[in-house]
Structure 1
Amino acid sequence: MTLLLIGLILWIGPHLFKRLAPDLRDRMGASGRGIMGATIGAGVVLMVLGYRAADGAFFWGRSPALVGINNLLMLVSVYLFAAAGMKTAVARKLRHPMLLGVLVWSVAHLLVNGDVPSFVLFGGMGLWALAQMAIINAQSAWTPPAAKPAKFEAMALAGTILVYGGIAGVHYALGYPAFG
Structure 2
Amino acid sequence: MFLLIAGLILFLGIHSLPMFADKRAALEEKFGVLGYKGLFAVVSAIGFVMIIYGYGAARAEGPAILYDPPFWLRHVTMLFMIPVFIFLVAAYVPCRIKKALKHPMLVAVKMWAFSHLLTNGDLASVLLFGSFLVWAVADRISLKRRGLGGGAVMTKEPGKFSDIIVILVGLGLYVLFALKLHMLLIGVPVA
In the superposition, the TM-score normalised over structure 1's length comes to: 0.90
CA distance in 2 between partners of 1:141 and 1:129 (Å): 15
* Shift of residue 143, structure 1, vs aligned partner: 4.4
Contact 1:78 1:160 in 2 (8 A): yes
* Shift of residue 132, structure 1, vs aligned partner: 0.6
Residue 175 in 1 paired to residue 187 in 2?
Answer: yes
- Per the alignment, residue 152 of structure 1 pairs with 162
Residue 52 in 1 paired to residue 56 in 2?
Answer: yes
Q: 1:116 aligns with which of 123, 126, 131?
A: 123
The alignment partner of 2:161 has SS state of helix
The alignment partner of 1:86 has SS state of coil
- Greater mean deviation of Cα atoms: 167-176 or 44-53: 167-176
* Shift of residue 84, structure 1, vs aligned partner: 1.8
Contact 1:88 1:152 in 2 (8 A): yes
Residue 23 in 1 paired to residue 25 in 2?
Answer: yes
Contact 1:19 1:136 in 2 (8 A): yes
1:11-160 map, 5 Å: 11-20=11-20, 21-27=23-29, 28=31, 29-54=33-58, 55-58=62-65, 59-61=67-69, 63=71, 65-143=72-150, 145=153, 147-160=157-170
CA distance in 2 between partners of 1:36 and 1:164 (Å): 28
Distance 1:143 1:122, change over 3 A: closer
Distance 1:163 1:25, change over 3 A: farther
Distance 1:80 1:95, change over 3 A: same
* Shift of residue 150, structure 1, vs aligned partner: 2.7
* Shift of residue 141, structure 1, vs aligned partner: 4.3
The alignment partner of 1:39 has SS state of helix
CA distance in 2 between partners of 1:151 and 1:103 (Å): 27
Q: State the one-letter code of the partner of 1:6.
A: A
- Per the alignment, residue 2 of structure 1 pairs with 2
* Shift of residue 25, structure 1, vs aligned partner: 3.7
Query: 5+ residue gaps in structure 2?
Result: none
* Shift of residue 44, structure 1, vs aligned partner: 1.1
How many residues matched?
178
